[in-house]
A and B are shown apart, each in its own frame.
Chain A
Amino acid sequence: MRRHRVLERLLVVPTAAWTLVFFVAPLVLITVFSFGSENLVTFRISFGWTASNYSAFSGSLYLATLLRSLGLSLGTTLGCALLGLPLAYFITRQRPGIQRLLLAGVIVPFWTSFLVRTYSWVNLLQSQGPIDRLAHGLTGHHVEVLYTPTSIAIGIVYSYLPLMVLPIYVALERVNPDLYDAAADLGARPWRQFRRVVLPLARPGLIAGIIIVGVPAMGEYVIPEILGGGKTLMIGNIIVNEFLDVGNYPFGSALAVSLMVVLMILLFALRRVQPAFEAR
């Protein structure tokens, strides 16, 4: 029995070894190198990180890109929530058979190739493309949004939307529908029902969705590369560029670490917000 216990403890070895060597160690390594002062380049970076040099850093392309990434991440997360919440709610109010069909309608696009899904928007949004011609026919104005932040936002919302719908669906699916009827019987109008009943019940799923959409979206590389056309960049593109094209590893590390720090701050903020919501 004792030997059995020892063997059971040994089960942790593969996952611990793998995670420490190939996940924790590399992250520690780039953090150290981003602050290191071995050579001139590294020294300059750690210099740029201090608060006194903040103004020098803020004028740079990098801070602007970091802020644009933050803006795009927040905006697309909000977009996913605005589209995902009504859809998830709508699905939970259907009969089980239709629920399953609609869920498949949300999940199956998510299973298809991420690259192809992003690329499909190049065709749709191109000048003289279907959306442009439709808009021109209806309003007389051309819609030329390809290779702008707008097209990146469309692509991100499109790709990440299922990740928002599913947790909200899971949260709302457990709700007894009588609750909604009770709210209606007691005289709540639809908007009030939504605000006072649906939204609080969906909150745990909504917060899970915000994390699972907002964090990876912030570091998105492929979508801005394809739909930004090399003109509009996010921080992920600059990190890749510094590493694979410029070869300035310490500076690339500093950018990657700063992205990680921003995300950690956001996650901690969300964790502080969540209990406050639940206490109400």
Chain B
Amino acid sequence: MIRRHPVVGAIALVVIGYLWIPILAVAVNSFNRSSLMVRWGGSTAHWYSLAFHDHNVRTGLITTLEIALGSTALSLVIAVSGSLWWRRAPARARAIYDALVYARIVLPEVVFATALFFLFFKAHFPLGIVAIIIGHSVWNSAYAAVIIQARLTGLDPAIEEAAADLGATPWRVFRRVTFAALLPAIIASGLLTFTFSFDDVVTSYFLGGPASSPLPLVLFGMIRFRITPEINAIGVMVMLFTVTLMGAAVAVFALMGSARRGRRGAFAEFYGQ
């Protein structure tokens, strides 16, 4: 049996270490007094207070939150309405829809961001927060659609028909049966898209213009021009925030989803398996 095969186990543990050590290094260095970060120079909370009082970081955070909220709301409207249509759509229209969802996920962001930037340039559409929100919602709505559709395929239409037969109006059937069943997927995909938007660099870089700098771009600029432990401190705070959000997304999905699906978590769902 290879369950106990030492080579497989050793590779697995090394790979888990590979995934975690850099993150732990960032966390450790965020307390490192030595600003070169080559070796340990004693502990300090100085970098956290520096990050806390950094004007660019603060305004960047607010911009990022506005963008993430806006693009999440838009993505959910697009994904929920699209998925409800998809459920009853003819096969050929479905195939086109599926291909476009898949393309929005797989296409390298650089190509998409370039193209949208060029469209906005040609159409004289101003760059800034609104442009970023539109850009993020294009790929975010695709991620949300995948999760919501996975949930919809598990919903038996007989339940809705039963509700209608028992005298519920179409709106009431939607609200009390369809929407109620979709709610976990909507919450989970909302948290997921919020996190993706919160973390994005490339689309924001193209569509932000000179005036608006969300937090990842502030951080990106710092990384490229001056390496300081302050970046580690901001990084730790950003990581704690996104991990909390994603943890909430999975918890919602696991708690409110069916037992079978919940165990594997939202990410297995994401792959549509």
Contact = CB atoms under 8 A, between A and B. Distances in A.
Nearest to A88: B12
Contacts of B187: none
A211 B108 CA distance: 12
* Prevailing SS type, chain B contact patch: helix
A216 B106 contact: yes
A22 interface: yes
B202 A221 contact: yes
B86 to A, nearest CB: 8
Given A26-B118, A126-B38, A158 B22 contact: yes
B108 A219 contact: yes
Interface stretch (B41-49, B54-62, B130-138, B150-158): B130-138
A103 B243 CA distance: 14
Nearest to A216: B108
A102 interface: yes
B15 A115 contact: no
Q: How large is the interface on A (under 10, 10 to 19, 20 to 34, 35 or more residues)?
A: 35 or more
Q: How large is the interface on B (under 10, 10 to 19, 20 to 34, 35 or more residues)?
A: 35 or more
Residue picked from B26, B104, B265, most chain A C-beta under 10 Å:
B26
A113 B114 contact: no
A216 B97 CA distance: 21
A12 interface: yes
Interface string A251-270: 01100100110010001000
Nearest to A22: B138
Nearest to A252: B114
B38 A129 contact: yes
Interface in A105-150: 105-109, 111-117, 119-124, 126, 128-130
20 contacts: A15-B141, A22-B135, A26-B119, A100-B263, A105-B19, A106-B19, A113-B219, A116-B239, A126-B38, A161-B18, A170-B268, A184-B2, A220-B108, A221-B109, A221-B110, A226-B224, A240-B202, A249-B121, A253-B114, A256-B111
Interface of A: 4, 8-9, 11-16, 18-19, 22-27, 29-30, 33, 83-84, 86-87, 89-91, 93, 96, 100, 102-103, 105-109, 111-117, 119-124, 126, 128-130, 158, 161-162, 166-167, 169-171, 173, 180-181, 184, 190, 193-194, 198, 208, 211-212, 215-216, 218-222, 225-226, 236, 239-240, 243-244, 249, 252-253, 256, 259-260, 263, 267
Interface of B: 1-3, 5, 7-9, 11-12, 15-16, 18-23, 25-26, 29, 37-38, 77-79, 81-82, 84-85, 88-89, 93, 97, 100, 103-104, 106-112, 114-119, 121-122, 134-135, 137-138, 141, 145, 170, 195, 199, 201-202, 205-206, 216, 219-220, 223-224, 227, 231-232, 234-235, 238-239, 242-243, 246-247, 263-265, 267-268, 271, 273
Given A23-B100, A190-B7, A239-B114, 8 more contacts: A12-B97, A93-B3, A105-B20, A106-B19, A115-B223, A130-B25, A216-B109, A260-B111
